[in-house]
Amino acid sequence: MSHDFVYTANPARILFGPGSLARIADEVRLLGCRRALVLSTSSRREDAERLNAQLGELGAGVFSGAVMHTPVHVTEQAMAAFEDAAADCVVALGGGSTIGLGKAIAYRNDAPQVVVATTYAGSEVTPILGQTENGLKTTVKGAAILPEVVIYDAELTLGLPLATSVTSGLNAMAHALEGLYAKDRNPLTGLIAMEGLRSLKQALPAIVERPRELQARSDALYGAWLCGTVLGSVGMALHHKLCHTLGGSFDLPHAETHAILLPHTAAYNAQAAAEVLAPAASLFGGELGGGLYDFAGSLGAPLALAALGLRESDLDKAADLAASNPYWNPRPIERDAIRELLQRAWSGARPR
């Protein structure tokens, strides 16, 4: 194999390990900050209040209005809370929704970010921010968006609901799979992607059996970090574009949409990217799309877009949208083949 690549690493400080949340005050101080606004979703407000108290004099208060897809009007409220609290940094406690809000603040005022990641979505290690305004989702990228410090404490994930754990874990695996065939991939992202896939492949069935087992949770979080790192380093293709289209235009939930589409998008690209996908295919029994479908099914993951509320009559429009905006993919984007892929994913059929 000949090597020819450019690799830019994302600078970030990662603290990984059960109990690592205890070190958060030191991390805030190391950043040179003195007043941290703690962010969360409304359902995690109590945890955020506890964290604010744990920060002692460094805690500047809680803003618990984070929601999915980072609406700009919520960011504006959070910016006002940041100023009212005289904060000089943010601590985001949660998954991609909360982390997105922290990134949106930092994008506007360059506030340092400490992230305590509690799902497997991976946003904490990417310099990418997706935000929505007037029903339109746009993506921006930049150094200010990348969080400075990430704390991965698996103890905080023991109560992540099982269904969310499974779909979020499959969401993470999608980053790694698309990273394997990314146009701008490099040897390091390939190694990271395979380690991430192996770790989640082992961890997710264990979590289904024993959701509160710390070792399985730690393995899943480790895999999520690796898969997120791939997402932050290389460009994504069909799978992420399709999920973006379905999330943005039909308001489908993020992790579930990823989980359902992954076997189908992997099958779509399996032949065109056979060489680089070979290690992943062998991890899933030789046939990547079918293997992923069986794996997702064995975890009890949703398999049909119909179950998320997408109407069959929307499939033509979704296929048109996915094919209308050209982007790189190992196999050319063929409108009719995408329509067929969507039909199978809608009904929950095994990919071909």
Contact footprint for ligand NAD (CB under 6 A): 41, 43-44, 68-69, 94-98, 100, 118-119, 121-123, 126, 128-130, 156-157, 159-160, 164, 168, 231, 254-255
In which element (H, E) is residue 41 found?
A: strand 36-41
Instruction: Report in angstroms how near the CB of residue 185 gets to ligand NAD at its nearest.
Output: 17
Q: Which amino acid is at 146?
A: L
Instruction: Report in angstroms how near the CB of residue 4 gets to ligand NAD at its nearest.
Output: 27
3-state secondary structure (DSSP) of residue 123? helix
Instruction: Report in angstroms how near the CB of residue 78 gets to ligand NAD at its nearest.
Output: 15
**Nearest residue to 66 (alpha-carbon basis) of 34, 104, 30, 27:** 104
Beta partners for residue 66, in sequence order: 41
Nearer to ligand NAD, 254 or 344 (CB): 254
CA distance 348 to 210: 27
Instruction: Report in angstroms how near the CB of residue 200 gets to ligand NAD at its nearest.
Output: 14
- C-alpha distance from residue 150 to each of 2, 104, 180 (Å): 34, 16, 24
Instruction: Report in angstroms how near the CB of residue 142 gets to ligand NAD at its nearest.
Output: 12
Nearer to ligand NAD, 94 or 102 (CB): 94
Q: Which amino acid is at 148?
A: E
CA distance 72 to 76: 6
Instruction: Report in angstroms how near the CB of residue 352 gets to ligand NAD at its nearest.
Output: 28
Nearer to ligand NAD, 118 or 186 (CB): 118
Nearer to ligand NAD, 145 or 281 (CB): 145
Nearest-CB residue for ligand NAD = 96
- C-alpha distance from residue 75 to each of 39, 101, 210 (Å): 11, 6, 37
Nearer to ligand NAD, 24 or 270 (CB): 24
CB 195 within 8 A of CB 146: no
Nearer to ligand NAD, 168 or 199 (CB): 168
In which element (H, E) is residue 137 found?
A: strand 136-141
Instruction: Report in angstroms how near the CB of residue 56 gets to ligand NAD at its nearest.
Output: 23
- Alpha-helical segments (H) within the chain: 24-30, 45-54, 72-84, 96-109, 162-181, 187-209, 214-233, 238-250, 254-270, 274-283, 288-298, 315-324, 335-347
Q: What is the largest CA-CA distance in the chain?
A: 59
Instruction: Report in angstroms how near the CB of residue 231 gets to ligand NAD at its nearest.
Output: 6
Nearer to ligand NAD, 48 or 281 (CB): 48
CB 265 within 8 A of CB 258: no
Structure token pair of residue 320: 């048109």
Structure token pair of residue 174: 């999608």
Nearer to ligand NAD, 11 or 56 (CB): 11
Nearer to ligand NAD, 64 or 186 (CB): 64
Query: What residues contact residue 118 under an 8 Å CB cut-off, 6+ apart?
Result: 44, 93, 94, 95, 156, 157, 160
Instruction: Report in angstroms how near the CB of residue 201 gets to ligand NAD at its nearest.
Output: 19
